Structure 1
Amino acid sequence: MALILVGEDDIDVTELLLILLEDAGHETVHVDNGEAAIASFATSRPDLVLLDVAMPGSLDGLEVTRQIRGLEAGGDRRVPVMLLTARALEEDRRSGLEAGADVYLVKPFEIDEMLRTIESLLAEGTSS
C-alpha cells in the first residue's frame, strides 16, 4: 500500500481518482490547490503525487512539481509525480516533463493505463 497525494480541484475527477486508488489498495490524501499540495507533501511525504496542471491559487501543477523537486534536493528519495491534465499540446507535455514530472497523462485518460503507470512508478521507487 502506498500513500498517494492527489492534487485536483474538479470534484468529479477527484471522486473517481480517490475511488480507483483506494480500490487498488492505496491510501490517499486529497488537496484542491497548489499551496495545499506543497504543504501536504512537506508533512506527509507521499510515495507518489498526482497533480492537475490547472488548479486554483497562485501555484499550478507545474510550479508545484518544481517546488517538490526543490524540496527533495539533496535527499535520498525522489517521489514520482504524475501530471493529469486537459492540456494536450506537445508544448504543454514538454513543459510538464521539464518541470520535473515523471509522467504527463492527458484527460480524459484510460483508467487501466493510469493504474498501470502508477503501479510501475511505485515499483521503480521501491527498487531504487
Structure 2
Amino acid sequence: MALILVGEDDLDVTELLLILLEDAGHETVHVDNGEAAIEAFARSRPDLVLLDVAMPGSLDGLEVTRRLRALEEGGDHRRVPVMLLTARALEDDRRAGLEAGADAYLIKPFEIDEMLRTVDALLA
C-alpha cells in the first residue's frame, strides 16, 4: 500500500504504531529523532509521515515538519502529508502544529480507529 515514515522515540508507542500500520498493509520506516527523520524522508520519499512532537535531539516534530515543507518547496517534490502524534493537548499546541505544516494533529493517547481513519484519509 503506502510507505509511512514513523518518527517516534517512545518504544511502546513505536511498537504499537508499526504493528497497526503494517497490519493495515503499509510498509514502515522508523526513526527516533528529528535529524534521522529528515534524512529518512530525503532518502525514502514516503507517502505519509507520522511524527511525535517531542523527540530527542535538536529538532522536535514541529521543526521537522517545517523543514520537510521547505524541502518540498525547494524542489519538484510532491506534498507528503504529515500527522503529528503528541501528548501536547492545548489548542495553542494544535495550532502551532498546523501552522508548522502538519495536515493532522492527534493527541496521545489516541484512539486506534481514529488514527487509522486519519491515516487512510491522508493517503486518499
TM-score range, shorter chain: over 0.9
Identity within the alignment, %: 86
Deviations 1:63-85 (A, max 9, x none): 00000000000425100000000
1:85-119 Cα offsets, whole Å, 9 max, x none, are 00000000000000000000000000001101100
State which drifts further: 65-74 or 18-27.
65-74
Provide the TM-score with structure 1 as the length reference. Answer: 0.95
* CA shift in 2, pair 1:39/1:76, >3 Å: closer
Residue 29 (1) aligns with residue 33 (2): no
Summarize deviations over 1:3-46 as a string: whole Å, max 9, x none.
Answer: 00000000000000000000000000000000000000001000
1:43 aligned partner, one-letter code: R
What's 2:50 paired with?
50
TM-score where L is the length of structure 2: 0.98
Give the alignment of 1:1-128 within 5 angstroms. Answer: 1-73=1-73, 74-123=75-124
Compute the RMSD of aligned alpha carbons: 0.7
In the alignment, structure 2 segments of 5+ residues that lack a partner are: none
Q: Provide the C-alpha distance between the structure 2 equivalents of 1:105 and 1:95, rounded to a whole number of angstroms.
A: 13
Structure 1 counterpart SS, 2:121: helix
Cα distance in 2 for residues equivalent to 1:90 and 1:75: 33
Secondary structure, counterpart of 2:83 in structure 1: strand
Distance 1:92 1:117 in 2: 19
**C-alpha distance in structure 2 between counterparts of 1:82 and 1:49, whole Å:** 6
Residue 56 of structure 1: how far off its partner (Å): 0.1
2: CA distance, partners of 1:117 / 1:87: 18
> SS of the residue aligned with 2:38?
helix
